[in-house]
C-alpha cells in the first residue's frame, strides 16, 4: 500500500485519466489526484497556502512598518513567494525551445504490414492488436527561442514519449525525414551558424549559408527547408520522422534496421513565405492555439506510425549508406509498413509542468528496440539526456510528466530536488548498491538473448564512403511542384542576397550539382537581386530587408510628448 501511494505521488497529474477540460473547452481545472487533501481548521480545498502548507490570510500586502513602509526582513510569505518567482524559469532548451504538447494514446495493430510483428521485434507495446499505450507528444521549432513566432522557417521537432509496461520509450525526431549533417561532432557548429550572431545578436543568412556552402551533405535538407516544407501550416498537419536509423530485435536476438515515420491522417499542409508572414502579422502563436483548440473541441489529431525495414548490414548495392541521416530510404525498395495509430486527446493541465519540463532522449529505449551505428544517433544519445540533467536537474525523471507509469526502484540517491527515494517494498534502505546480501535490489531475470553484433576494424576519424551528397537533393527538386520551386528559389535568393560573393558562388555550384535547373534559377535570382530587384522571400535571413524594416519603424512611428 505504501509503495502504491508512493507511485501515485510520483506519477502525479500525468496519471490522471479523465479529461479535465470544461466549459467552452478553454478553461482547465486541476484534478488534485496526487495531493494530500487534509485541511487545517477554517480551510477548504481552495484555500491559498504557502509551499509549507501555511494558510495565507493576506495576499495583498507586505508586512511593513506602517502602511507606507519600509518592509521588514522577516516577510517570510513574501520572500518565499518572490524567491520562487525569481526561479520560475528553468534554462531554455538550446534547441527546440518553442513548443506545444498534448497527451494521447498509441494503439498497436499487432502486425508490421501483413506480417506478425514478433518476427522482427519483441517490444511488448507492438505485439497485440488493440493494445493501448499512453503517450505525451511535444511539437517544437528547433533553432529559435521560447517566444519566437511559429511561422518562422525551421525544422519542427516531433517527440513522442510512450509510457509502456516496460518503462518509457522516447521516439525523438523532426517533421522532415532528413537532417543537415551526418556526424554528431558537427552539431554545435550547425546550431551556432543558425543562432544569432554573437556580436550583433541577429540571425544572418550569410552565417547560415557560410556553414551550408562548406557542408555539401546539407543540400538535401536545404532543398526541403527553404521550400514550403520549411513552414508547416500547423502541428496537426505535418509528418514526423525518427530521422535516425534504429534497430528492432526479436526474441532470438536477431536484429533489423528500422526507420520510423508518423503520417498525419489529417493530411499535410505547408505555407509559402508570404503566407507565413501574413499569419505572423496576426498571431505568432497560431500552431500552439490550433493544437489546443482542436483537442479541446474533440477534433483529436491522429497519426499512423509506419516503419521501413532493412537487413542489418552495409548494403553495398545502394548508392548511399543506410545509416546516413541526410538520406531517405527509397519507398519503392523499402515500403512504409503500418504498425499502429496515435491519437492526441487531452490537453496539458499546466504548460510549464508538462510541456516545458518534459524531457526526451534518443537513448530511452525498451526491450526489443536497440541502437544502430548511426553516428548522429550515437552523439544525440549522450547529448539529449545530458542537457536534461543540466536544464531540469539530476532528478528530472522523478517529475510526473517524465516518470514511467510503472514500478521504479534504483540505487540512485540525492541530487538537487530529490523528493522521494526509488525504493522497493521491503528493501533495506541502507543498501544503495548492488550486489548485496542485505535485502538490496536485485537484477531482473534475463528472458531473451541480447543482440550481440560483431565489430572489427581500426579506430579512425573518417567520413563514410558513400556520401552521394547531391542525388537525392536533385530528386527532391524535381519532385517539387512549380509553386514549391518558386518559393524555394525566392527564399534562397532572399537569404543569400547579402551574403559574400564567395558564399553565393558556392551555393550556385552546389545547387547545380543537384540539378542544372536548380542552379541556373538560383543564379538568375541572385543576378536580378543585384540589379536592384527586391528578393521576395527569405525575410527571416535577409539583412537588407531587416535593415529596411528597422528604418521603416522610425519613419512610420508617431511622435509622442514626454510625461
Q: Residues with catalytic annotation?
A: 96, 174
Main-chain phi, psi angles of 162, to 5 degrees: -95, 120
Residue position matching grid coordinates 541577429: 202
CB 393 within 8 A of CB 386: no
Reference 141, options 133, 129, 153; nearest CA is: 153
Range list of H helices, 148-307:
187-194, 205-212, 219-225, 273-280, 286-296
Q: Which three cell numbers stand for residue 326?
A: 541526410
> Rounded to 5 degrees, what angle do the CA atoms 100, 102, 104 make?
155
Residue 254: exposed, middle, or buried by beta-carbon count in 10 A (0-12, 13-18, 19+)? Answer: middle
Does 390 appear as a known binding residue? Answer: no
Measure the CA–CA gap between 551 and 546, rounded to whole angstroms. Answer: 9
Q: How many angstroms separate the most distant Cα atoms in the chain?
A: 85
Q: Which three cell numbers stand for residue 462?
A: 573518417
Q: Which three cell numbers stand for residue 372?
A: 544502430
Q: DSSP letter at 46?
A: T
Tell me the torsion sign for CA atoms 301, 136, 174, 106: negative
User: Which residues 6+ apart lie within 8 Å of 38 measured at CB?
Assistant: none
User: What's the Cα-to-Cα distance from 399 to each of 289, 395, 404, 531, rounded to whole Å?
Assistant: 25, 8, 10, 58
Reference 522, options 539, 510, 534; nearest CA is: 510
Main-chain phi, psi angles of 135, to 5 degrees: -135, 160
CB 146 within 8 A of CB 92: yes
Measure the CA–CA gap between 255 and 174, rounded to whole angstroms. Answer: 24
Measure the CA–CA gap between 231 and 316, rounded to whole angstroms. Answer: 36
Main-chain phi, psi angles of 505, to 5 degrees: -65, -40
Local structure of 530: helix, strand or coil: helix
Measure the CA–CA gap between 75 and 260, rounded to whole angstroms. Answer: 55
Main-chain phi, psi angles of 504, to 5 degrees: -60, -45
Binding site for heme: what residues are annotated?
384
Amino acid at each position: 500500500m505504501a509503495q502504491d501511494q508512493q507511485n501515485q505521488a510520483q506519477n502525479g497529474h500525468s496519471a490522471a485519466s479523465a479529461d479535465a477540460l470544461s466549459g467552452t473547452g478553454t478553461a482547465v481545472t486541476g484534478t488534485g489526484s496526487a495531493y494530500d487533501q487534509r485541511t487545517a481548521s477554517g480551510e477548504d480545498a481552495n484555500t491559498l497556502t504557502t509551499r509549507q502548507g501555511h494558510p495565507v490570510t493576506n495576499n495583498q500586502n507586505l508586512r511593513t512598518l506602517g502602511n507606507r513602509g519600509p518592509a521588514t526582513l522577516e516577510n517570510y510569505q513574501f520572500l518565499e513567494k518572490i524567491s520562487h518567482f525569481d526561479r520560475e524559469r528553468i534554462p531554455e532548451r538550446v534547441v527546440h525551445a518553442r513548443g506545444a504538447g498534448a497527451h494521447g494514446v498509441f494503439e498497436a495493430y499487432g502486425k508490421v504490414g501483413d506480417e506478425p510483428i514478433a518476427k522482427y521485434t519483441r517490444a511488448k507495446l507492438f505485439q497485440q492488436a488493440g493494445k493501448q499505450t499512453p503517450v505525451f507528444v511535444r511539437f517544437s521549432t528547433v533553432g529559435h527561442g521560447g517566444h519566437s513566432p511559429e511561422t518562422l522557417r525551421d525544422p519542427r521537432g516531433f517527440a513522442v514519449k510512450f509510457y509502456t509496461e516496460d518503462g518509457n520509450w522516447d521516439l525523438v525526431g523532426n517533421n522532415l525525414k532528413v537532417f543537415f549533417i551526418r556526424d554528431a561532432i558537427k552539431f554545435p557548429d550547425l546550431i551556432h551558424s543558425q543562432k544569432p550572431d554573437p556580436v550583433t545578436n541577429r540571425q544572418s543568412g550569410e552565417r547560415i549559408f557560410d556553414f551550408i556552402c562548406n557542408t555539401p551533405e546539407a543540400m538535401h535538407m536545404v532543398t526541403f527547408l527553404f521550400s514550403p516544407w520549411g513552414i508547416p501550416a500547423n502541428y496537426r498537419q505535418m509528418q514526423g520522422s525518427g530521422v535516425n536509423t534504429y534497430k528492432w530485435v526479436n526474441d532470438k536476438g536477431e536484429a533489423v534496421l528500422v526507420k520510423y515515420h508518423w503520417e498525419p491522417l489529417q493530411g499535410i499542409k505547408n505555407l509559402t513565405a508570404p503566407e507565413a508572414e501574413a499569419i505572423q502579422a496576426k498571431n505568432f502563436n497560431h500552431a500552439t492555439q490550433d493544437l489546443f483548440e482542436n483537442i479541446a473541441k474533440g477534433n483529436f489529431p491522429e497519426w499512423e506510425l509506419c516503419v521501413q525495414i532493412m537487413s542489418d548490414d552495409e548494403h553495398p548495392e545502394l548508392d548511399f549508406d543506410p545509416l546516413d541521416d541526410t538520406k531517405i530510404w527509397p519507398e519503392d525498395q523499402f515500403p512504409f509498413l503500418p504498425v499502429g495509430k496515435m491519437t492526441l486527446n487531452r490537453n496539458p493541465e499546466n504548460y510549464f509542468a508538462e510541456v516545458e519540463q518534459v524531457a526526451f532522449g534518443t537513448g530511452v529505449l525498451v526491450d526489443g528496440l536497440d541502437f544502430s551505428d548511426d553516428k548522429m544517433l550515437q552523439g544525440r544519445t549522450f547529448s539529449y539526456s545530458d542537457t536534461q540533467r543540466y536544464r531540469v536537474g539530476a532528478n528530472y525523471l522523478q517529475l510526473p510528466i517524465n516518470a514511467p507509469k510503472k514500478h521504479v526502484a534504483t540505487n540512485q540517491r540525492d541530487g538537487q530536488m530529490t523528493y522521494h527515494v526509488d525504493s522497493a517494498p521491503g528493501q533495506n534502505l541502507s543498501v544503495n548498491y548492488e550486489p548485496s546480501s542485505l535485502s538490496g535490489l536485485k537484477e531482473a531475470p534475463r528472458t531473451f538473448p541480447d543482440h550481440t553484433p560483431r565489430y572489427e576494424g581500426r579506430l579512425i576519424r573518417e567520413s563514410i564512403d558513400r556520401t552521394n551528397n547531391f542525388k537525392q537533393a536533385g530528386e527532391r527538386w524535381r519532385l517539387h511542384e512549380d509553386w514549391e520551386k518558386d518559393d524555394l528559389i525566392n527564399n534562397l535568393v532572399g537569404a543569400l542576397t547579402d551574403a559574400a560573393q564567395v558564399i553565393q558562388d558556392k551555393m550556385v555550384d552546389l545547387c547545380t550539382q543537384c540539378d542544372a535547373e536548380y542552379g541556373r534559377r538560383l543564379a538568375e535570382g541572385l543576378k536580378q537581386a543585384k540589379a536592384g530587384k527586391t528578393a521576395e522571400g527569405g525575410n527571416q535571413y535577409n539583412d537588407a530587408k531587416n535593415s529596411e524594416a528597422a528604418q521603416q519603424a522610425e519613419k512610420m512611428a508617431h511622435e509622442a510628448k514626454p510625461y
